[in-house]
Amino acid sequence: MACPFHQSAELNPALLALDWLLGVWESDEPGEGSFSSIPPFRYNETLHFSHVGQPVINFMFNAFHTENKKPMHRECGFIRIQPGGNRVAFIIAQNSGLVEIEEGDLTGQQLTLHTHALARTSFAKEPHVQQISRVFQLRPDGKLEQTVSMAMEGGPLMQHLHVTYRRSS
């Protein structure tokens, strides 16, 4: 699948530290999801990271059920890096009605993010997510690894998702 964002523009110099994310990534093996309130599950996911020359990365994440291939979770948004620093912000809209800002630090080829702000539709399903953290890491073998942890109302932060991707373009 071709990346849905125009990528012929020159990369903005502000994004050089994040250029390792750019491209299309597909889950190498099915990702694994679990949480105390739901049964464990497996999924496939495609990540699109692109740019249009602005000092921001556009992204779209699409997860699919491993067996029946039906669409599952969707996220899209933007990644910004603080000029002259290593602070990074993910601005995310999810198909579940959750909108979030995650902020964190870029250390080499690892990005560690934590909830800065959350908003949701007035009719979002309960229990409500209260906190999210995620880590992206480019491994020495060239694969991208993502781990997402989540806390619901009144609960601790727990690992929710773990998946490894291979670059497909």
Whole-number pLDDT of residue 2: 44
Q: Could you tell me which residues are beta bridge partners of residue 159? A: 149
Whole-number pLDDT of residue 64: 97
162 phi and psi angles, rounded to 5 deg: -145, 130
Whole-number pLDDT of residue 1: 41
Topology, domain 13-35+43-167: Lipocalin (2.40.128)
| Domain segments of the chain as ranges | 13-35+43-167
Residue closest to 18 by CA, chosen among 79, 78, 75, 103: 79
Handedness of CA 6, 11, 14, 16 (dihedral sign): positive
Q: Please list the rounded mean pLDDT of every run of 10 residues in the chain (169 residues).
A: 60 96 97 90 97 97 95 97 95 96 98 97 90 98 97 93 97
Whole-number pLDDT of residue 3: 46
Q: CA 99, CA 20: separation in Å to the nearest integer?
A: 25
Q: Measure CA 86 to chain center.
A: 18
Whole-number pLDDT of residue 125: 84
